[in-house]
Amino acid sequence: MRRIALVGLVLTLARPLVAQAPNTTSSTTSPPGGLTLFSSDWSNGVLDGGKWTRWGGNPVIAVVPATGLAFPATMANVLRVRIGTQDFDWVQADGQWSLPAMGESRAYRIYLRNAVGAVSGNWAPTHPLESKGTDGSISGNSYAMHVGSDVGNTFAWTFATAAPFPRNYFTVNPTASDIGRLTKGTTYRMEWKWTRTGAGVYTLDLRIYGPTGTLLYDASSIRAWGGGSLASAATGFPVADWAITGIRIGLNGGFAASGTHYVYWGGFAVCADWCGAY
């Protein structure tokens, strides 16, 4: 069984970045379960009225109408990321919600549609959604969602963590012997939840819903790379506490491909428990 390097390794870009100071506003009180702490549907541009900062300096992200992309009917706009350019461009939310107290959670929701064409290459060419990182690095340090490229109608999907092998990667493949695939051109609702059990230590839960809101995968069917189900090994994940209070979405390089290829993201939210549908 081959092992895969942790995505949290910090790599420094060779060229300077166009950086903005993070927003340090945060809530100081613990919310009741299910309360939405932060949400962005990009109704006011790429920065959505100041909810995000942007750095990287390469124009590969844009806000476009959600029409025809099978996102929820009330969602007007989505964030479009052009991949296959080997470029670098992010939006990042930093300090817009508070760190949970011991025993409390932070749950995250986003809609994903992978519209990449028939591209051959690495199974996970980019991790376009990840915990907030350090200016000057292309990785989020603590966890990331990988979106891959296949020559056919599917794409590789994993959720990477800083835990030791085999819990460093989780996938949807029920056999746990290979990386699982989702379907291109399908809009999924992704939800994940970190529950704080110690300083920098969390339990993890994951859910993936189909375009009609049907639960497709949960902790019992999402499995570790070469290991058992997430439900059987959900505790003791190392996540830097500061990484819980931020996220970034965009492009961190990845594979080069001819043509134009997009991944779409919509309806991001952070809640004190499962956010649910948009």
Contact indicator for 47, 248 with CB cutoff of 8 Å: no
Alpha helices (runs of H) in 101-225, residue ranges in sequence order: none
Contact indicator for 52, 82 with CB cutoff of 8 Å: no
Number of CB atoms found within 10 A of residue 186's CB: 16
Contact indicator for 188, 209 with CB cutoff of 8 Å: yes
Rounded to a whole number, what is the largest CA-CA distance in the chain? 49
Instruction: Flag whether 104 is in a domain.
Output: yes
Helices (H) and strands (E) counted in the chain, each on its own, are 1, 18
Instruction: Flag whether 30 is in a domain.
Output: no
How much is the pLDDT for 187?
Answer: 98
Any idea what the CATH number is for the domain that residue 134 is in?
2.60.120.200
What is the rounded CA–CA span in Å between residue 64 and residue 9?
Answer: 32
Instruction: Flag whether 94 is in a domain.
Output: yes
* Residue 194 backbone phi and psi in degrees, to 5: -105, 130
What is the rounded CA–CA span in Å between residue 39 and residue 4?
Answer: 33
Instruction: Flag whether 277 is in a domain.
Output: no
pTM, rounded to two decimals: 0.86
Instruction: Flag whether 162 is in a domain.
Output: yes
Q: What domain count does the chain have?
A: 1
Structure tokens at 228: 């058992």
Contact indicator for 253, 118 with CB cutoff of 8 Å: no
Question: What letter represents residue 23's amino acid?
Answer: N
Q: Is 267 left (phi over 0), alpha (psi -120 to 50) or beta?
A: left
What is the rounded CA–CA span in Å between residue 276 and residue 273?
Answer: 9
What is the rounded CA–CA span in Å between residue 129 and residue 146?
Answer: 7
Per-residue pLDDT of the chain (278 residues; tens, 9 = 90+): 333 333 333 322 222 222 223 333 333 344 555 699 999 999 999 999 999 999 876 778 999 999 999 999 999 999 999 887 888 888 999 999 999 999 999 999 999 999 988 776 554 456 789 998 765 555 556 899 988 777 788 888 999 999 998 899 999 976 666 788 899 999 999 999 999 999 999 999 999 999 999 999 999 999 998 778 999 999 999 999 989 999 999 987 777 777 888 999 999 999 999 999 99
Instruction: Flag whether 98 is in a domain.
Output: yes
Instruction: Flag whether 26 is in a domain.
Output: no
Instruction: Flag whether 14 is in a domain.
Output: no
Contact indicator for 197, 120 with CB cutoff of 8 Å: no
Domain that holds residue 228: 36-271
What is the rounded CA–CA span in Å between residue 253 and residue 85?
Answer: 7
What is the rounded CA–CA span in Å between residue 154 and residue 164?
Answer: 28
Structure tokens at 264: 């779409």
Task: For CA atoms 66, 207, 49, 250, give the dihedral sign.
Answer: negative
Rg of the chain, C-alpha, whole Å: 17
